[in-house]
Amino acid sequence: MTTQKGTTKEAIVEAAIALFYAKGYKGTTIRDIASEAKINPANISYYFKGKQGLLEECLIRFFEPYLACLEEETGKLEKDQADHCLKRAIKRVLVFQSEHKLLARFVWREISIDSQTSREIISSYLMKERFFLKNLIQATLKEQKMAFPISMLIIQLKGILMMPYVNSLYVSEVWGMGPHEPYFIDKYHLMISKWLESWSGNQTFVKPIESVASNHY
Amino acid sequence: MTTQKGTTKEAIVEAAIALFYAKGYKGTTIRDIASEAKINPANISYYFKGKQGLLEECLIRFFEPYLACLEEETGKLEKDQADHCLKRAIKRVLVFQSEHKLLARFVWREISIDSQTSREIISSYLMKERFFLKNLIQATLKEQKMAFPISMLIIQLKGILMMPYVNSLYVSEVWGMGPHEPYFIDKYHLMISKWLESWSGNQTFVKPIESVASNHY
Amino acid sequence: MTTQKGTTKEAIVEAAIALFYAKGYKGTTIRDIASEAKINPANISYYFKGKQGLLEECLIRFFEPYLACLEEETGKLEKDQADHCLKRAIKRVLVFQSEHKLLARFVWREISIDSQTSREIISSYLMKERFFLKNLIQATLKEQKMAFPISMLIIQLKGILMMPYVNSLYVSEVWGMGPHEPYFIDKYHLMISKWLESWSGNQTFVKPIESVASNHY
Amino acid sequence: MTTQKGTTKEAIVEAAIALFYAKGYKGTTIRDIASEAKINPANISYYFKGKQGLLEECLIRFFEPYLACLEEETGKLEKDQADHCLKRAIKRVLVFQSEHKLLARFVWREISIDSQTSREIISSYLMKERFFLKNLIQATLKEQKMAFPISMLIIQLKGILMMPYVNSLYVSEVWGMGPHEPYFIDKYHLMISKWLESWSGNQTFVKPIESVASNHY
DNA sequence: CATGAATGAGAGTTCATTCAT
DNA sequence: TATGAATGAACTCTCATTCAT
């Protein structure tokens, strides 16, 4: 059978993401994936050197562009205002995740399982993430007297970024709209901006924080 | 080898909870469990009619007392003030989950996977949960003009209850303390109370909501 | 199905030896072995931790008693005449191999293939073999002026010992009888004795070497 | 990529011989061969109709010239002295094998494995071999009273011819030199001549047999 | 001729489960 | 109750082979 070049590989990844999301990595067999992608199971080993290789491809496809957002904005710290970089980074990360909801959800859930497998690749990505977030936050805080330790801000930020895709149900209802809806990102981003300004001191274009609070609960 | 009556069964469940939490249901083999519990794998089938039976035992051990909290407080609605019942229910649920952190975390994570298996038992529990939450909220709202649809409040509440065990990292850092710390529950409960009063209109012993907001972010 | 204790394991090893001999290690599948032994393929992994484990069991079953012959006679060097020890060692090795012809043939053929697998276990056994042979020969040579380097004698001896099982066809026809026939060992042993005396100088009960030579060719 | 005509095919055969020798037929994959020969795996099927076809090509490349030696010398029986033909045949066979050591060793080892595959081609070659050897020996023996049955002489001769390549280690040490050394063939051939004369009665240009014997052991 | 994609058969292995003891 | 042996199903992966280009 003749297929378009590259089609098979893409079909496998797409099917894998959908099934890993729905049934978990361990709960998905390569035959599931093969039949979903309408290809021969052997192709999975052919293209990805096995099921774990496919998992790693998925992780890479998530983390590479995800980290690119953070890296690029970290790179702009020298010529742009730090809080602008941080805000742009946040926005880009939110957009990226919202464009890859299944993948985002699957990745954040799966790495909470002590899977033995792919441990190295995951921890290397998480290290990079932490590095960029730290730099961005540190630069934003530069001239501030820090009310919080940086480490705490990093983890807060990370939690906020993951939240809509890990607890989408919760967030979507709390916010009256979900990550899938058109203006969600704008709204969520606005909320984060206010949180950010609450500690960065840089409140140029922000409404009073009370309005967020009452929105929030 | 002779063991105390019931000891074997308990050892199995304990080992299962720890391993299901760490490695996921699919990622845990009954031999893992057996060797962790220092018993023979055949005993698992003997006592629980198989691995799935053991999973269901875990689910039951989580949901039965969990739902009991809600059911009992729902039952008190006739003789006590509705918002008091709701607050007590919330507190008991938080305490229970905090006493069974691994189990709570495992259950809420696992049911997000479309496991096919145990689907019936899970959805029956979730139906009950929804029923009790609805009744408690509805009673609290009784004489209020509802600003929100009830369904939204239910899901919000549910999200709030699960949060500390699903995203413990996030919550613990945002709150400056985690579900494992002694006063966490009190603090978290206080926050929820304020959220609750923000829509129930019953603000007898509550500080203004702004203070929560500024606490929060 | 109920079977005698230990029967299954033995049946597997027996079937494995026969099939490894006939079809080679790579050419034999565990399903071949299982059906030959009339057991379930999973038992092979159960008892031997996989096909390679079964191979190693076969190697162990060959090398352990084989080396025991050499080790014991090496141990007797202190209280007995060296050439007697060496001759007894040779005789015992011949008898042992002749009692396990398939195994012997399979082992000597298989280790000539660069199998990657089981490399460590094999080379450790061969090292021991060389050690014992060296000691036995060295002791026999002690008071002789050595016409040959020891290493050459070791390899000659080893070749002679392997020969009847590696090239049984050849030997059996040259000798007018094969390793399977009752008096073969005696005759072969006599030949070796003469070869041995040709360099050890100890010719007490030996016919002149020419008679062997004309027998041989 | 353009390659010289025939180059690909030759590269495949060369790689195959080296790998079959080192890892056995079953232990070698066509991808091993392809990457060793730096060609595409599909070419192997293209040129040889599959892995087994490649094996058969190797067998042919060994047996055809091998048998040609025997056939040609058998053909000369009518116009030349029988024992001269036999000796020349032996010499040519030895030279040929020594020029194709890997192939020789691989072939003689592999046909001792009941490979099912290529059984027909192998046994047809072995039949021819036996036919030529029988004729050569029979002619040499013609005017002799046979002390041995012919069949025994055939098998003895065959064993002698195979020996240096099957048990090269053994032979090389016993003889003080191996099949790879320049004068080995001469020496080995001399030895065979003496063996031959010991039963053919034709001892014109031979040293006394004792000298061989004392050389040998 | 040469190639990369694709396939089906079958290999080794794991696993939950059963059963006689 | 508790256990070790044994099983069948299913999984991942490898491999020789085919085919369109």
Of B208, B210, B152, nearest to A211 by C-alpha is B210
Is the confidence at residue C214, as pLDDT, over 60?
no
| CATH, residue D2 | 1.10.10.60
Is the confidence at residue A58, as pLDDT, over 50?
yes
Please name the residue that has the structure tokens 């039952």: B75
Nearest C-alpha in B relative to A148:
B176
Same domain membership, residue A206 and residue A119? yes
Q: Tell me what pLDDT residue C215 has.
A: 38
Average of per-residue pLDDT across D174-183: 76
Is the confidence at residue D83, as pLDDT, over 50?
yes
Higher pLDDT, C192 or D149: C192
Is the confidence at residue B213, as pLDDT, over 80?
no
Is the confidence at residue D26, as pLDDT, over 80?
yes
Same domain membership, residue B67 and residue B43? no
Tell me the pLDDT tens digit for each residue of A139-186.
998 766 666 788 888 988 998 899 888 888 777 777 777 778 878 888
Higher pLDDT, D176 or A125: A125
Q: Tell me what pLDDT residue C145 has.
A: 65
| CATH, residue A103 | 1.10.357
Same domain membership, residue D82 and residue D18? no
Chain D positions contacting chain C at CB under 8 Å are 22-24, 26-27, 109, 112-116, 152, 155-156, 158-160, 162-163, 166-167, 169-171, 173-174, 176, 194-195, 198, 209-210, 212-214, 216-217
Same domain membership, residue B208 and residue B146? yes
Angstrom distance, C2 CA to E19 C1': 9
Same domain membership, residue A73 and residue A44? no
DSSP string, chain A: ----TTHHHHHHHHHHHHHHHHH-STT--HHHHHHHHTS-THHHHHHHSSHHHHHHHHHHHHHHHHHHHHHHHHHGGGTS-HHHHHHHHHHHHHHHHHHTHHHHHHHHHHTTS--STTHHHHHHHHHHHHHHHHHHHHHHHTTSPPSS-HHHHHHHHHHHHHHHHHSHHHHHHHTTS-TTSTTHHHHHHHHHHHHHHHHH---TT---HHHHHHHH-
Q: Name the closest residue (CA) to the C1' of nucleotide E15.
A: B29
Q: Tell me what pLDDT residue C136 has.
A: 95
Is the confidence at residue B65, as pLDDT, over 90?
yes
Same domain membership, residue D157 and residue D136? yes
Q: Tell me what pLDDT residue A175 has.
A: 77
Q: Decide if B75 is inside a domain.
A: yes
The Cα A62–Cα A5 span in angstroms is: 23
Is the confidence at residue C87, as pLDDT, over 60?
yes
Report the phi/psi class of residue D5: left, alpha or beta, with left for phi > 0 and alpha for psi in -120 to 50.
Answer: beta
Query: From the list D116, D162, D173, which residue is nearest C159 (CB)?
Result: D173
Q: Tell me what pLDDT residue A202 has.
A: 65
Q: Decide if A55 is inside a domain.
A: no
Average of per-residue pLDDT across B135-153: 81
The Cα A52–Cα A120 span in angstroms is: 13
Q: Decide if B35 is inside a domain.
A: yes
Query: From the list A160, A173, A198, which residue is nearest B155 (CB)?
Result: A173
Nearest C-alpha in D relative to C195:
D217
Q: Tell me what pLDDT residue D29 has.
A: 97
Query: Range of A165's domain?
Result: 60-216
Same domain membership, residue B82 and residue B5? no
- Grade residue C210 by pLDDT with cuts at 50, 70 and 90: very low
Contact between chains at C217 and D195 (C-beta distance less than 8 A): yes
Q: Decide if D125 is inside a domain.
A: yes
Query: From the list C23, C115, C152, which residue is nearest D27 (CB)?
Result: C115
The Cα C88–Cα C70 span in angstroms is: 9
Contact between chains at D159 and C173 (C-beta distance less than 8 A): yes
Q: Tell me what pLDDT residue D27 has.
A: 95
Q: How many domains does chain D have?
A: 2
Question: Which residues does chain A have within 8 Å of residue B118's beta carbon, measured at their own beta carbons?
Answer: none
- Grade residue C139 by pLDDT with cuts at 50, 70 and 90: very high
Is the confidence at residue B2, as pLDDT, over 50?
no
Same domain membership, residue D104 and residue D67? yes
Is the confidence at residue A217, as pLDDT, over 50?
no
Angstrom distance, D69 CA to F16 C1': 35
Q: Strand F: which nucleotides have any atom within 7 A of a protein Cβ? A: 1-21
Tell me the pLDDT tens digit for each residue of B16-46.
999 999 999 999 999 999 999 999 999 999 9
Nearest C-alpha in C relative to D115:
C23
Is the confidence at residue C82, as pLDDT, over 60?
yes
Is the confidence at residue B1, as pLDDT, over 60?
no
Contact between chains at D155 and C173 (C-beta distance less than 8 A): yes
Cα of C82 to nearest chain D Cα, Å: 20
- Grade residue A204 by pLDDT with cuts at 50, 70 and 90: low
Is the confidence at residue D214, as pLDDT, over 60?
no
Tell me the pLDDT tens digit for each residue of B185-205.
888 888 888 888 888 776 554
The Cα C10–Cα C44 span in angstroms is: 11
Same domain membership, residue A170 and residue A64? yes
Q: Decide if C54 is inside a domain.
A: no
User: For chain B, what is the mean pLDDT?
Assistant: 86
Is the confidence at residue D209, as pLDDT, over 50?
no
Q: Decide if B212 is inside a domain.
A: yes
Tell me the pLDDT tens digit for each residue of C19-73.
999 999 999 999 999 999 999 999 999 999 999 999 999 999 999 999 999 999 9
Q: Strand E: which nucleotides have any atom within 7 A of a protein Cβ? A: 1-21
Angstrom distance, B57 CA to F1 C1': 20
Cα of B46 to nearest chain A Cα, Å: 25
Same domain membership, residue D117 and residue D190? yes
Average of per-residue pLDDT across D194-213: 58
Q: Decide if B54 is inside a domain.
A: no
Average of per-residue pLDDT across A182-194: 87
Q: Tell me what pLDDT residue D147 has.
A: 62
Nearest C-alpha in B relative to A113:
B23
Of B89, B98, B91, B45, nearest to B70 by C-alpha is B89
Please name the residue that has the structure tokens 């990079």: A128
Q: Could you give the percent of chain A with pLDDT greater than 70?
A: 87
Same domain membership, residue A132 and residue A38? no
Q: Tell me what pLDDT residue C55 has.
A: 97
Same domain membership, residue A105 and residue A211? yes
Angstrom distance, C35 CA to F7 C1': 14
The token duo for A124 is 């290397």
Cα of D159 to nearest chain C Cα, Å: 5
Contact between chains at B170 and A163 (C-beta distance less than 8 A): yes
Is the confidence at residue B15, as pLDDT, over 90?
yes
Angstrom distance, A99 CA to F16 C1': 42
Q: Decide if B29 is inside a domain.
A: yes
Q: Tell me what pLDDT residue D200 has.
A: 77
